[in-house]
Structure 1
Amino acid sequence: MNLLVVKANNRPEGVSSKMYETFMESIKEAKNLNVTVYDAFEEDMPYFGQELFNAFGKLQSGEELSELEQRLLAAKQKAKDVFAEADVVVFVFPLWNLTVPAKLHTFIDYIDEAGYTFKYGPDGSPVYLMPEKKIILMNARGGYYSSPEMQNMEHAVNYMRSIFAGMFGMEVTEEVVIEGHNARPDIAEEIVENGMRKVAVTAEKLMY
């Protein structure tokens, strides 16, 4: 099985960084997994914008690309390549300011491409091009966002689910969420420990 792990936190003490470490430690002996790690904070990932469309135009006309345009095309292609090869993709990310880190959003910008992850049908509805891929979401958030009054403010897991299940038609097989450790410092250690056990269990399921 080809497994892609997308790490989207560069804070060593961040809870989602520790989720990543726990997950990788749990699968290190797996013989059935071909593991690729894409560290969004280590990759060269210029932001998606007009420069990318300029680069597409220059490719068609044969014009010379600027350095930024070359970097953009290379980064986008690398993200597409590693994603295409994966059978299962694990995203490990925090909730920052109610949403995902910009680096993770950029990765999704790179792969959210008509003709690659989806296309438009005759009536304009999306046609899924990679529905066989399995997605696992691992998220840490310091507050409580599971309650009905807070769910609408949570734009990290909800966003990821909307993209991968809703827009790309992929199955989100697992969601491991650690929440409340900042809101409840008195039980923070217990919250995190319970969450790490769930991370390990999720990892073990991939090994058999």
Structure 2
Amino acid sequence: MNLLVVKANNRPATVGVSSKMYTTFMEKIKEAKNVNVTVYDVFEEDMPYFGEEFFSALGKLQSGEELSNVEERLLAAKQKAKDIFASADVVVFIFPLWNLTIPARLHTLIDYIDEAGYTFKYGSDGPVYLMPEKKIILMNARGGDYSSPEMQTMEHAVNYMRHIFAGMFGMKVIDEVIIEGHNASPDKAEEIIRNGLDRVVETAEELTILDGIETPIGDSSTSVLVE
């Protein structure tokens, strides 16, 4: 199995809960003998933001004009992300909720791979999925409690990732591990985080024995909430 782990928090694990989830997952997954692990750290990669420079670069490629430095970097970063993502059987995204959404650099990675002709194409009846066999695992930490119906509409991190990968790309979200409420309930924070990290370990253990990645790890229709 080719496993891609996308790390999307550059805070140290001593203070960042999703960073703690990453270190916990990586410590456990290294025991696997049937898994080839690649890490893509969005804060370590050269990732120019997606915008006019990309469309300008496409025009210059067609006309044979010389690319600017940022255009070259952007095209190279986009291609690298596409190549790494395409080679993975399972992709684990480990990310925080920042200001109700995902970190901007994680969004940039999604901008790189959200491409007609790559992850999907347009059909007469809507999008056609080009990588439906790819499996996705979402691991998220959020200090508040967003599992209640009135708060769910404000949560644009896990909801966004699920809609992109399951809805737009047709991939299967086979597991979600969410640690939440540790900032809202500081008296329970240690227990909340400990229980959540136990779930991270369980997910890593299940990946190490997953045969052929055909059987879902968890129920992708519901989040695994640690409260």
For normalisation by structure 1, the TM-score amounts to 0.99
Q: Residue 25 of structure 2 corresponds to which residue in structure 1?
A: 23
Q: Residue 10 of structure 2 corresponds to which residue in structure 1?
A: 10
Q: Residue 93 of structure 2 corresponds to which residue in structure 1?
A: 91
* Paired amino acid for 1:200: V
- In structure 2, C-alpha distance between the alignment counterparts of 1:60 and 1:200, rounded to whole Å: 49
Q: Residue 166 of structure 1 corresponds to which residue in structure 2?
A: 167
Q: C-alpha deviations, 1:64-87, integer Å up to 9, x for none? A: 000000000000001001000000
Structure 1 residue 73 corresponds to structure 2 residue 91: no
Q: C-alpha deviations, 1:5-48, integer Å up to 9, x for none? A: 00000000200000000000011111100000000000000000
Q: Residue 107 of structure 1 corresponds to which residue in structure 2?
A: 109
Q: C-alpha deviations, 1:37-61, integer Å up to 9, x for none? A: 0000000000000110000111111
- In structure 2, C-alpha distance between the alignment counterparts of 1:175 and 1:24, rounded to whole Å: 16
Q: Residue 36 of structure 2 corresponds to which residue in structure 1?
A: 34
- Quote the offset at 1:122 in angstroms: 2.2
* Paired amino acid for 2:11: R
Q: C-alpha deviations, 1:95-141, integer Å up to 9, x for none? A: 00000000000000000000000000024x10000000000000000
- In structure 1, C-alpha distance between the alignment counterparts of 2:17 and 2:124, rounded to whole Å: 45
Segments of 5+ residues of structure 2 without an aligned counterpart are 210-227
SS in 1 for 2:208: coil
Give % identity.
Answer: 81
Structure 1 residue 128 corresponds to structure 2 residue 132: no
- Quote the offset at 1:182 in angstroms: 0.3
* Paired amino acid for 1:165: A
Q: Residue 154 of structure 1 corresponds to which residue in structure 2?
A: 155
Segments of 5+ residues of structure 1 without an aligned counterpart are none
Q: Residue 198 of structure 1 corresponds to which residue in structure 2?
A: 199
SS in 2 for 1:169: coil
- In structure 2, C-alpha distance between the alignment counterparts of 1:48 and 1:136, rounded to whole Å: 25
- In structure 2, C-alpha distance between the alignment counterparts of 1:54 and 1:32, rounded to whole Å: 43
Q: Which runs of at least 4 in structure 1 moved beyond 2 Å after TM superposition?
A: none
Structure 1 residue 189 corresponds to structure 2 residue 190: yes
- In structure 1, C-alpha distance between the alignment counterparts of 2:71 and 2:174, rounded to whole Å: 36
Q: Residue 214 of structure 2 corresponds to which residue in structure 1?
A: none
SS in 2 for 1:206: helix
- In structure 2, C-alpha distance between the alignment counterparts of 1:53 and 1:22, rounded to whole Å: 40
Q: Residue 63 of structure 2 corresponds to which residue in structure 1?
A: 61
Q: How many residues align?
A: 207
* Paired amino acid for 2:136: I
- In structure 1, C-alpha distance between the alignment counterparts of 2:198 and 2:87, rounded to whole Å: 28
- In structure 1, C-alpha distance between the alignment counterparts of 2:124 and 2:153, rounded to whole Å: 33
* Paired amino acid for 2:208: M
- In structure 1, C-alpha distance between the alignment counterparts of 2:199 and 2:33, rounded to whole Å: 21
